[in-house]
Structure 1
Amino acid sequence: MATNAQFPPYEFYDGEKIVGIDAEMASAIADKLDKKLVIDDMEFDAIITSVQTGKSDFGMAGMTVTEERLANISFSSSYATGIQSVIVPENSEITSVDDLYAEGKNYLVGTQKGTTGDIYAEEDFGADRVMKYASGNEAVQALITGKVDCVIIDNEPAKAYVAANNK
């Protein structure tokens, strides 16, 4: 299984082990097929290539179905609905997503490269305002250190990052 284990609660590290919703489902699938599950952690935007080239048998990583992705791989039935959230530091002047569109404001948006949040942010704000990171955690660290003004990411990982960083 190809994944990006930086996406709690779907896949993340607990010590040396990758755990989470996708890891549990993949384990159940492997058990049903009488196969041994091996989870390969990689950058999110490498998962499709890994499956296409046969390096991985399948990928699970909270991946949104898009027309472009459908042209390259097949998807199972959806088992989760991704809602995008905007994370900002406490006392940010960004108080709603509408603030990101304010004229004269050119907020820098952090995203995890290749994710739905990344796709939406680049379409809405342009590539010059989007800082792409290899993981959601890196994007959140950029927010904490002031390199970006906000991070757009799926809601469930957003809640986990906010709880973990309490910023």
Structure 2
Amino acid sequence: MLDRIEASGELRAGLTGDYKPFSWEAPEDRFEGLDVDMAKALAEELGVRLVIVRTSWPTLMDDLKAGKYDIGMGGISVTEERKADALFSIPLLTDGKAPIARCEDAKRFQTLAEIDREGVTVIVNPGGTNEKFARANITRATLLLHKDNATIFEEIAAGRADVMITDAIETRIVAREYDGLCAVNPDAPFTQSEKAYLLPRDGAWKTRIDAWLAQMEESGGKVEIFEKWVE
């Protein structure tokens, strides 16, 4: 992998562009977010140019195995299923699944039992850990798949869905951007999981990425980027 990157002069970072604060599409087909800045820092460290490769949660693993990108970024959760086909960097942070709902309904959805009831519509984006969690835990409520994660919260705000269970870090960001939506107990999520960078099965590449992340931690560069995007 390092040979390919050096020979081509480019780092290909796979991003979905639909998950704040990690990556999302800005006007004029521009990507912004925490992991966009981290990808830029990595490309600079390697002395190559950054190329952002658009991927999606349903195609994330297939795109990696097809060699479409060198590093998957953008808030990827570490799972045993993904580890069967890929490597992960050292963890970036620990997070967990938590609800977001209209503020008027927040008290109704404090627990999974209160969410998983007839008459409640739970909305979820397909292909990632959000869908996996919802399918494992939602059996009585109506489960609504919404393919566009960038607009999924508009469905809750408009009353076409009641609640979404996603990563707590995202609920905090979205609650600040949508009047009337509230993160529900983001400091006490239903689960605990690590987020890290997704890598092909190349030990030398993982060693290089882990060393860069350790350097970013020691220099304060990682903290500076995180504080820019996560208040």
Which TM-score band (shorter chain)?
Answer: 0.7 to 0.9
The superposition leaves residues 58-88 of structure 1 with CA deviations (integer Å, 9 ceiling, x where unpaired) of: 2112111111111122111110112222111
How many residues align? The count is 165
Note the residue ranges of structure 1 that are not aligned, 5 or more in a row. Answer: none
- Looking at structure 2, the residues matched to 13 and 76 of structure 1 have their Cα atoms a distance apart, in angstroms, of 24
Tell me: higher relative CO, structure 1 or 2? Use CA pairs within 8 A at least 6 residues apart.
Answer: 2
Unaligned runs of 5+ in 2: 1-12, 181-231
What do residues 96-141 of structure 1 show as CA deviations (whole Å, max 9, x unaligned)? 1241145xx3422112222322211110114973222234333212
Which residue does the alignment assign to 1:111? 124
Mapped partners of 1:115, 1:106: distance in 2: 25
Deviation at 1:145, TM superposition (A): 2.5
- Larger Cα-atom Rg: 2
Determine if contact 2:98/2:165 at 8 Å carries over to the other structure.
yes
Q: Quick check: 1:96 aligned with 2:110?
A: yes
One-letter amino acid of the structure 2 residue matched with residue 43 of structure 1: S
Q: Is contact 2:99-2:109 (8 Å) kept?
A: no
> Are 2:53 and 1:40 equivalent residues in the alignment?
yes
**Residue range with higher mean Cα deviation, 47-56 or 35-44:** 35-44
- For 1:56, the equivalent position in structure 2 comes to 69
Task: Tell me the distance in 2 between the aligned counterparts of 1:53 and 1:126.
Answer: 35
- The Cα offsets for residues 9-40 of structure 1, whole Å up to 9 and x where unpaired, read as 11123433212211111111111222211112
TM-score between both structures, scaled by the size of structure 1: 0.86
Cα deviations across residues 140-165 of structure 1 (Å, max 9, x unaligned)? 12212322210111122212222211
Q: Which is worse superposed, 90-99 or 142-151?
A: 90-99
Measured on the aligned residues, the alpha-carbon RMSD in Å equals 2.1
